[in-house]
């Protein structure tokens, strides 16, 4: 029973605990709900207040923006009105000017008509006056005109000669200042058409017996040499010599060295000939490469294609008028570099252009076309500078030079070719050129005698002092120079030197 009572009491107490606890929490919950509702009401009230404030602020800004827009629009309308007024004023002014021009045009037309009538009247009076003059002077119009022109020509000749003399004096005084300009535009006269240089090589034999050994049994040795080298061997009655003939200088050099080695060795047969030929060919190829590299190093030209280096080396064996083309190219390169430095032009490009200006001659024996055309083709193939290509094209006057570099290469080429000892010239052609130069100078009126001196680079002319006066000498020199330039082809330049001697004799008694 006591246990039951304890359990009943425990359960009753437990019930009372939960009952009062639930009531406590319900009271607290109601308090929290009221507080939350109060906060929510305050928040809604604040939001409404802020909303009204924002709406009022927005309306104020809209009113302000509208006011400013209206003010700006008003100002723009005033500005447009002013512009319209100005345009209207201009249109009225233009209309007034157009009306004035129309009236002036009418006046000018009337004056033109009046002038035309006056001109016709003057022309009529002129014709009548000319007829009266012809009748009075007993000279026709053409005859009188010719007499007048003749008198004027005689007067003008003296004036022209005096002006030329004054101009020459002025040029001499300002020569130092104008030197760079003169160098850049000077066009040197070029040499005559190029011909093949030496096309044969002569090999000395120790004895005449060696000729038979070179020919071989039934000519097999000489046939082997000719077929391998592409060179003609000329074995004639000349004692102790064999002649090698070909237009290809490299082949001729290979054949010459091969034959000299065979003669020195003494064993001459087809197998040995082929062995010596291959060995000599390799040596020549190395020599060609070495010569090309030497030229590149001497001129300080960089980034050159290996094939161009090889072609430069081949120029070592190419000659023109007895002058080595590679030596000539090096001279032109150095001259171009110096001229370009003086003129403020790219000296590296100038040296490169001077070195490659005759590169086409390395192929002129094996390809069709002039060395200028071949040089242009090579330069384009290996993507050289366009200015350099133009300089190659213009260095012999095939095209008109248009750049300072082209003028420099042309001048340097002429200087190198025309310097004393640079080239050999056939004696007959040399004599003919001098004779023609003297005949040309003698054809002018007043020339008593003339002499070509300085290997044809100067002509000294003696004139009749009675026929040619001092003031006419510059004009005569200029005319002779023009005649020489148009009728002769010559290397470098020719100096025309005119001398006039006036001698007066009187006897004292």
pLDDT digits (tens, 9 = 90+) for 346-405: 888 888 988 888 888 887 666 777 788 888 888 888 888 888 888 888 887 778 888 888
Number of domains in the chain: 3
In a 13 Å sphere around the CA of 364, the CA atoms on its Cβ side amount to 23
Report if residue 48 sits inside a domain. Answer: no
Report if residue 182 sits inside a domain. Answer: no
Q: Kindly state whether residues 435 and 402 are assigned to the same domain.
A: no
Report if residue 468 sits inside a domain. Answer: yes
- Could you count the other beta carbons within 10 Å of the beta carbon of residue 374? 22
Report if residue 312 sits inside a domain. Answer: no
Q: Of 289, 309, 332, which residue constitutes the final position of a domain?
A: 289
Q: Of 418, 434, 451, which residue constitutes the final position of a domain?
A: 418
Specify the CATH number for the domain of residue 280: 3.30.1370.10
Q: Which of 493, 498, 314 is nearest to 417 (CA)?
A: 493
Q: Kindly state whether residues 394 and 464 are assigned to the same domain.
A: no
Q: Kindly state whether residues 209 and 271 are assigned to the same domain.
A: yes
- How do strand 232-234 and strand 241-245 relate by DSSP bridges? antiparallel
- Residue 110 confidence (pLDDT): 86
d(CA 185, CA 92): 59
pLDDT tens by residue, 452-468: 876 677 888 988 888 88
Q: Kindly state whether residues 205 and 254 are assigned to the same domain.
A: yes
Report if residue 349 sits inside a domain. Answer: yes
- Residue 182 confidence (pLDDT): 42
Specify the CATH number for the domain of residue 458: 3.30.300.30
- Overall average pLDDT of the 293-301 stretch: 86
In a 13 Å sphere around the CA of 125, the CA atoms on its Cβ side amount to 6
Q: Kindly state whether residues 332 and 359 are assigned to the same domain.
A: yes
- Residue 112 confidence (pLDDT): 86
Can you list the alpha helix ranges (DSSP code H) found in 366-419?
371-381, 386-394, 404-418
Q: Which residue has the higher pLDDT, 351 or 246?
A: 351
Lowest pLDDT segment from 146-160, 239-253, 358-372 = 146-160
- Residue 191 confidence (pLDDT): 34
- Could you count the other beta carbons within 10 Å of the beta carbon of residue 354? 32
Report if residue 274 sits inside a domain. Answer: yes
Q: How would residue 17 be classed by pLDDT, with cut points 50, 70 and 90? A: low
Q: Kindly state whether residues 278 and 353 are assigned to the same domain.
A: no
The position carrying tokens 């009076």 is 125
- Residue 147 confidence (pLDDT): 67
d(CA 397, CA 408): 13
pLDDT tens by residue, 24-61: 677 777 777 888 888 888 888 888 888 888 888 888 88
pTM of the model: 0.46
- Residue 138 confidence (pLDDT): 62
Lowest pLDDT segment from 194-198, 391-395, 418-422 = 194-198
Q: Kindly state whether residues 253 and 231 are assigned to the same domain.
A: yes
Q: Kindly state whether residues 384 and 446 are assigned to the same domain.
A: no
| Angle value at C-alpha 90, between 86 and 94, nearest 5 degrees | 175
- Overall average pLDDT of the 311-339 stretch: 82
Q: How would residue 121 be classed by pLDDT, with cut points 50, 70 and 90? A: confident
Q: Kindly state whether residues 411 and 328 are assigned to the same domain.
A: yes
> What sign does the dihedral 89-95-96-101 (CA atoms) show?
positive
Diameter of the chain by CA atoms? 203
Instruction: Return mean pLDDT, the chain.
Output: 78
Domain membership of residue 494 as a residue range: 426-500
Q: How would residue 134 be classed by pLDDT, with cut points 50, 70 and 90? A: low
Specify the CATH number for the domain of residue 361: 1.10.3210.10
- Residue 508 confidence (pLDDT): 73
Does residue 189 have a pLDDT over 60? no
Report if residue 217 sits inside a domain. Answer: yes
- Overall average pLDDT of the 220-234 stretch: 80
Report if residue 496 sits inside a domain. Answer: yes
Beta strand ranges found along 128-282 (DSSP E): 200-204, 232-234, 241-245
Q: Kindly state whether residues 430 and 393 are assigned to the same domain.
A: no
- Residue 31 confidence (pLDDT): 79
Q: Kindly state whether residues 430 and 352 are assigned to the same domain.
A: no
pLDDT tens by residue, 66-100: 888 888 888 888 888 888 888 888 888 888 888 88
CA 188 to chain centre: 17
Note whether 395 and 355 are within 8 A (CB).
no
Q: Kindly state whether residues 274 and 348 are assigned to the same domain.
A: no
Q: How would residue 195 be classed by pLDDT, with cut points 50, 70 and 90? A: very low
């Amino acid at each position: 029973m006591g246990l039951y009572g304890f359990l009943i009491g425990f359960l009753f107490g437990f019930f009372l605990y939960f009952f009062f606890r639930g009531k406590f929490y319900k009271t607290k919950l109601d308090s929290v709900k009221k507080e939350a509702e109060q906060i929510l009401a305050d928040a809604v009230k604040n939001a409404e207040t802020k909303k009204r404030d924002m709406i009022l602020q927005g309306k104020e800004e809209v009113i302000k923006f509208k006011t400013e827009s209206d003010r700006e629009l008003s100002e723009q309308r005033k500005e447009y009105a002013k512009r319209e007024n100005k345009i209207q004023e201009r249109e009225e002014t233009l209309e007034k000017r157009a009306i004035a021009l129309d009236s002036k045009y009418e006046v000018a037309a009337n004056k033109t008509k009046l002038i035309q009538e006056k001109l016709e009247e003057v022309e009529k009076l002129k014709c009548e006056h000319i007829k009266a003059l012809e009748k009075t002077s007993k000279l026709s119009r053409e005859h009188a005109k010719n007499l007048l022109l003749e008198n004027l020509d005689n007067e003008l000749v003296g004036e022209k000669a005096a002006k030329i003399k004054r101009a020459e004096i002025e040029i001499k005084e300002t020569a130092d200042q104008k030197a760079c300009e003169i160098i850049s535009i000077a066009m040197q006269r070029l040499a005559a058409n190029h011909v093949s240089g030496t096309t044969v090589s002569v090999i000395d034999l120790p004895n005449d017996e060696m000729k038979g050994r070179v020919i071989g049994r039934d000519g097999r040795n000489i046939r082997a040499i000719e077929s391998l080298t592409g060179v003609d061997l000329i074995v004639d009655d000349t004692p102790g010599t064999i002649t090698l003939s070909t237009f290809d200088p490299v082949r001729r050099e290979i054949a010459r060295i091969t034959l000299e080695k065979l003669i020195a060795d003494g064993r001459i047969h087809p197998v040995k000939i082929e062995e010596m030929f291959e060995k000599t060919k390799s040596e020549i190829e190395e020599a060609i490469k070495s010569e090309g590299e030497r030229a590149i190093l001497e001129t300080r030209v960089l980034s050159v294609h290996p094939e161009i280096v090889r072609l430069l080396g081949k120029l070592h064996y190419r000659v023109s008028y007895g002058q080595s083309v590679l030596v000539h190219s090096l001279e032109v390169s150095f001259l171009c570099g110096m001229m370009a430095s003086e003129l403020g032009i790219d000296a590296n490009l100038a040296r490169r252009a001077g070195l490659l200006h005759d590169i086409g001659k390395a192929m002129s024996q094996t390809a069709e076309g002039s060395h200028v055309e071949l040089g242009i083709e090579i330069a384009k193939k290996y993507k050289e500078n366009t200015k350099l290509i133009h300089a190659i094209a213009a260095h012999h006057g095939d095209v008109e030079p248009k750049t300072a570099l082209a003028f420099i290469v042309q001048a340097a080429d002429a200087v190198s070719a025309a310097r004393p000892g640079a080239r050999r010239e056939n004696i007959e052609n040399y004599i003919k050129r001098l004779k023609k130069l003297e005949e040309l100078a003698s054809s002018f009126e007043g020339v008593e005698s003339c002499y070509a001196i300085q290997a044809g680079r100067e002509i000294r002319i003696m004139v009749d002092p009675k026929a040619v006066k001092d003031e006419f000498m510059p004009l005569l020199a200029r005319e002779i120079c023009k005649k020489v330039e148009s009728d002769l082809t010559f290397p470098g330049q020719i100096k025309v030197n005119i001398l006039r001697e006036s001698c007066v004799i009187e006897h004292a008694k």
